[in-house]
Structure 1
Amino acid sequence: MEVNVMENIFLLVLVTLLSALQNAFFAHKVEKECKSDNSKTTAFERVYCANRNCMDTYPTFIAVMWCAGICLSQAPASFAGLVYLAVRQKYFVGYMGQISQSTPGFLFGKRILSFLFLMSMVGVLNHLLSHYLATDYKDYIQTVTNAASALLLLP
């Protein structure tokens, strides 16, 4: 792979690999709970449901993170991806306790996915503007996006 291309996607690749490790961790938790003596307990149902919910949103997360990283800027997209992984971990652990403990992680995760989707749409819009109107705002948008990505840490 060409070095320049790899530099443009390296952070996205790292976050994707970390998310794969996290998925393996979640699967291990489900397997461990399944092999316990009380495999049909509420603990198993909670772990299984939390894993299923995380798997349901995983394709959306990967798609918007990669689109935001490629269309606009990989650094804020990767940062948002890392924050999303932390939030997903909080959601999973919260779901294993009481389901109400998982709500903040769920809502925070939706906010991060919305941010990544917005980044993707702005990147696509900027590409269309530069292609058809010969106006490129990518530098300005990247500056705003880099600053806005820090706002993701606010609760």
Structure 2
Amino acid sequence: MDQDTLGTIAPLAIVTLISVVQNAFFAIKVEHESKHCNGKGFQRLGSSAFDRVYIANQNCGHTYPTFLAMLWCAGLLCSPAPAAFAGLVYLFVRQKYFVGYLGERTQSTPGYLFGKRIIFFLFLMSVAGILNYYLVFFFRSDFEKYIKMMTSAISPLLLIP
């Protein structure tokens, strides 16, 4: 694999590996809460603490495939650095959502809304990359430099709540 390709996918792979570690952390929290509730292993008893951990884990798991698809599409089709940055911010927000869900359910709402905004940004990056590909293919007009400049300029704005 050449250095340019490796330089393109390395940040995306790092974010993916961090997300795998985060998923393992969430699973360990569910297992720990299950054992704490009944001491016999993984069984769902209806405990409110267990239910909150379990549901938070399920909610994070449901959005995980969408996150990975948008991260890799945005990184490969548009620009890897802003996509990796948005991915790291998303992982932070997902952690905030998970921890917020363990408290009162209203504490998880800001993390949920912030996560939706980041997924939408990654989606727009993917669409811009696809449109640029077809503009080059059909009209020989390449806007890649402008798209990368715009995404690099916009990605820090994701930090604004």
Same fold (TM over 0.5): yes
Which one-letter code corresponds to 1:135 in the other structure?
S
User: Which residue of structure 2 lines up, in the alignment, with residue 2 of structure 1?
Assistant: 2
- Maintained 8 Å contact 2:99/2:108: yes
* Match of residue 156, structure 2, among 142, 150, 155: 150
Counterparts of 1:51 and 1:2, CA distance in 2? 38
User: For residue 16 of structure 2, what is the amino acid of its counterpart?
Assistant: T
Which of 67, 70, 76 is residue 73 of structure 2 equivalent to?
Answer: 67
Q: Hey, what's the Cα distance between the residues in 1 that align with 2:79 and 2:33?
A: 40
1:104 aligns with: 110
* Aligned counterpart for 1:45 among listed residues 44, 51, 67: 51
Deviations 1:39-97 (A, max 9, x none): 53100000000000000000000000100000010000000000000000000000000
Structure 2 counterparts to residues 1-155 of structure 1, below 5 A: 1-38=1-38, 39-155=45-161
Structure 1 unaligned residues grouped into runs of 5+: none
Kindly provide the CA deviation profile for residues 89-137 of structure 1, in whole angstroms up to 9, marking residues without a partner as x: 0000000001110000000000000000000000000010011100000
Shift of 1:3: 2.6
Count of residue correspondences:
155
Query: 1:40 is paired with a residue of what secondary structure?
Result: coil
The residue type equivalent to 2:22 in the other structure is: Q
1:37: how far off? 3.2
Structure 2 SS opposite 1:37: helix
| Rounded Cα–Cα distance in structure 2 between residues aligned with 1:33 and 1:71 | 41
Q: CA deviation at 1:12?
A: 0.1
TM-score (norm 2): 0.94
Partners of 1:154 and 1:37 lie apart in 2 by: 38
- d(CA) in 1 for partners of 2:49 and 2:81? 38
In 1, Cα distance between equivalents of 2:147 and 2:5: 21
Identity %: 58
